[in-house]
Structure 1
Amino acid sequence: MELTFKIVLDKRHKKANETYPLKLRVFQNRAYKECSLNIAILENDWDSNLQVVLSTNDSYTALNSKLTSTKAKVQKLIFLSEDLEEFTTPEKIISQLKRKEQQKNPISKPDIIKYGEEHIAKLQIAGKIGNSIVYSCAINKLKEYCKSDKLTFEAIDYRFLENFNTTLLNKRIKVNTISLYLRTIRALFNKSIREGILEMKYYPFNSFKIKNERTINRTLTKSEISQLLALDLKVGSTIWHHRNLFALSYCFIGINFSDLLTLTKENFIDGRIVFRRSKTHKIYSIKIQSKAKEIFHYYFKSLPDCSKKFVLPFVENNSNLIILKNDILQAIKNTNDYLKKMAGLCSIDKKITTYYARYTWANIARELGYPKDMISEALGHESGNRVTGIYLDNYSNEIIDNMNDKVICSVF
């Protein structure tokens, strides 16, 4: 009549997201009674011998804590059954365990705001500051809309999303910005379902469709960018420095400003800049053409040979990644402000931003007759061909370098 127990991965009930539920089984002789632990994980995340969730699962610490607590409670009930003869069958132990759980936490429903803030903290620890800011913005909008720091996943249904979307539109927030908030909220739903925290039946995005709109053309003509880059500005002035940033972004195939602003001397190798793009983590190697070399020469003069500082004097090298990210965003905002002033000086009726360097480079390359696949590879986009994102092959280097040289020469 001895009672034993075990936690098992129930492979009889595979869920749509490829996970299986974890269940507690209490045995007596060869019979058993089981109950769900409201946890669902992938098969590869489970160690059946140790009965623990492996570290391949993002929430393994919290889930293992819950399993340890459950094991301790069952062990105590089995121990009491020997003395009091009160919980003498698997059915009685399971029943008592459920009763205690309900008394302890009668309405324990997962909260998207708490869950989102935990995810933000993980992203910050991992150094993914840009992503953490995106999630923070979405969570803050939910708090603002609900006027509360608490919101269960279950409360977000089709009507909630419709009203949330309408409210943001009424505040004149752009459609694509709202789309980003909603896609971030959707990502939290998908993540919580994969981790077994939320049931699929509460997923609201099967019926609610996220809307996007085409962005306005963000390119300059060859004549316009030539004007802007030839604008007579006082050397050393603030506006002159910010024009240099825009020119360098154009010369380096529309390099992201975050990557440009954080270049150090270590990124300059054999006449090229070699860097890992912060957004995709791919490695890029781009030849330093004569115009870029001329601009960098000005900034290199004031840097010692062994300097660890950023080459461009807009952002301080800071070990606090959150401060660094905010400083980069401020530098980009400042550049955008000066680009608007430059546009006015050139009588260009466009709200020029840093993005224009990348899109203009691509547009001019297309005008010069280069095929889309080659342009996509230069920009680091995935295309029909295999794209590694790193141009270490001599043949690829030569093609990309020659194309970039032509695109640069066409405007300087």
Structure 2
Amino acid sequence: MLINVREFLKWNRFEERELVINGIKERRRNRVGSSRKFGYNFLEHVKEEFSRDNSLYFEDITEAFLSNFKVFCISYLEHKTRTVTNHLIYIRTLFNAAIKEGIVEAKHYPFAGEKERIRIKPTQKIGLTREEIERIEKVSLKKDSSIWHTRNVWLFSFYFAGIRISDVLQMKWSDLMDGRLYYTMNKNEKPLSLKIPEQAEGILNFYRPSQRSQDDYIFPYLKHADQKSKRDIFVKTRNGIAVLNKYLKQLAKKCNITKNLSNHIARHSFGNIAGDTISPLMLQKLYRHSDLKTTIMYQANFIHKDADDALDAVLNS
């Protein structure tokens, strides 16, 4: 996100749009290439970028600044609305911290009152059906291939009510005890204990022969990560997620699934199959939501029976 702000600050409004976009893409390719080199440090790179121009202060982030930044993100960075919203949330978080630390006065806060308002639009959540899940389970794949590992990770997430893929990749054998999974979500640091379903146990059995110790990662994507380096774990997790998304597209084709098979759809698929058969309180626990209202709103995406019955009652009466 900070790099995107930097691109905005460097934006020459008189330059042709295509040239601006090509420049952004070229710099992005160079960053990716540099990040793969030994000794690369992302934070040092960001510091170097911003040390060249110290002209941006919190007081400069006005409503007009944010309005122009949004236009830039959509028109030049080609970001979706939700991505732009995430950028604004990040800026707002930094601003709140700066006010709390006394770095900037509250009167400069661009999100106050009727100023810039962050609106998160509801999105349509679509999950797989039970029959589509079975296709993924039964499709023939070469053992130890990338697509085979992808299928295993995705199903493992689904079997535990849609655990976030980043959490799955970072799970270690030490998280398994007495037939249960004990883990803490990276997102909100909530601890959880769940019985290991038979289906998940079957996947774990594939990987037990490669287990080196209790502190070893279950899945192969972080096997060579430096466990003392949070950055290395973060980078390898991010790269693993990118690889998974790539092979999930191939998996969808093999299984004749036309829905967008992504990492996060494992969570939506569990919700879709659960429907209204599980109490909201139990779903709240499975989803690790802090607020029951969040669970009810989330699950409303997958409960269609009442609306379907009402439609039939009108059309077929």
Which of the numbers 196, 217, 226 marks the counterpart of 2:102?
A: 196
Give the number of the structure whose residues are more often helix, by fraction.
2
Return 5+ residue gaps in structure 1 as ranges: 1-136, 388-412
Distance 1:211 1:169, change over 3 A: farther
Q: TM-score, normalised by structure 1?
A: 0.57
For residue 62 of structure 2, what is the amino acid of its counterpart? D
Alpha-carbon deviation of 1:307?
4.3
Alpha-carbon deviation of 1:150?
2.9
- 1:200-259 superposed Cα distances (whole Å, 9 cap, x missing partner): 111111211123333342411222222122211122222111100011111112112222
**Equivalent position of 1:315 in the other structure:** 222
Alpha-carbon deviation of 1:149?
4.6
Q: TM-score, normalised by structure 2?
A: 0.73
For residue 380 of structure 1, what is the amino acid of its counterpart? R
**Equivalent position of 2:73 in the other structure:** 168
Which of the numbers 203, 226, 229 marks the counterpart of 2:137?
A: 229
- 1:84-127 superposed Cα distances (whole Å, 9 cap, x missing partner): xxxxxxxxxxxxxxxxxxxxxxxxxxxxxxxxxxxxxxxxxxxx
Q: Secondary structure at the match of 2:275?
A: helix
Q: Distance in 1 between matches of 2:165 and 2:173?
A: 17
Higher relative contact order (CA 8 A, sep 6+): 2
Q: Distance in 2 between matches of 1:383 and 1:366?
A: 19
Matches within 5 A, 1:251-330: 251-304=159-212, 306-316=213-223, 317-318=225-226, 319-330=228-239
Matches within 5 A, 1:90-129: none
Q: Secondary structure at the match of 2:221?
A: coil
For residue 7 of structure 2, what is the amino acid of its counterpart? E
Q: Distance in 1 between matches of 2:214 and 2:278?
A: 39
**Equivalent position of 1:363 in the other structure:** 272
Return 5+ residue gaps in structure 2 as ranges: 11-52, 296-317
Stretch deviating more after TM superposition (209-218 or 323-332): 209-218
Q: Distance in 2 between matches of 1:149 and 1:216?
A: 41
Give the number of the structure whose residues are more often strand, by fraction.
1
**Equivalent position of 2:119 in the other structure:** 211
Deviating 4+ runs (over 3 angstroms): none
The two structures, once aligned, show a CA RMSD in angstroms of 1.9
Q: Secondary structure at the match of 1:224?
A: helix
**Equivalent position of 1:373 in the other structure:** 281
For residue 159 of structure 1, what is the amino acid of its counterpart? A
**Equivalent position of 2:5 in the other structure:** 142
Which of the numbers 243, 249, 269 marks the counterpart of 2:151?
A: 243
Q: Secondary structure at the match of 1:210?
A: coil
**8 Å Cα contact 1:175-1:211 kept in structure 2:** no
Stretch deviating more after TM superposition (218-227 or 154-163): 218-227
**8 Å Cα contact 2:284-2:292 kept in structure 1:** no
For residue 312 of structure 1, what is the amino acid of its counterpart? F
For residue 188 of structure 1, what is the amino acid of its counterpart? L
For residue 74 of structure 2, what is the amino acid of its counterpart? L
**Equivalent position of 2:64 in the other structure:** 159
Q: Distance in 1 between matches of 2:164 and 2:235?
A: 15
Which of the numbers 351, 364, 367 marks the counterpart of 2:260?
A: 351
Alpha-carbon deviation of 1:351?
2.0
Q: Secondary structure at the match of 1:314?
A: helix
Alpha-carbon deviation of 1:329?
0.9
Alpha-carbon deviation of 1:279?
1.2
**8 Å Cα contact 1:143-1:149 kept in structure 2:** no
Q: Distance in 2 between matches of 1:191 and 1:383?
A: 24
For residue 91 of structure 2, what is the amino acid of its counterpart? I
**8 Å Cα contact 2:174-2:214 kept in structure 1:** no
**8 Å Cα contact 2:280-2:292 kept in structure 1:** no
**8 Å Cα contact 1:222-1:364 kept in structure 2:** yes
- 1:47-72 superposed Cα distances (whole Å, 9 cap, x missing partner): xxxxxxxxxxxxxxxxxxxxxxxxxx
**Equivalent position of 2:249 in the other structure:** 340
**8 Å Cα contact 1:373-1:383 kept in structure 2:** no
For residue 220 of structure 2, what is the amino acid of its counterpart? P
Stretch deviating more after TM superposition (307-316 or 275-284): 307-316
Alpha-carbon deviation of 1:177?
0.6
Q: Distance in 1 between matches of 2:116 and 2:265?
A: 33
Q: Secondary structure at the match of 1:275?
A: strand
From the CA coordinates, give the structure whose radius of gyration is larger: 1
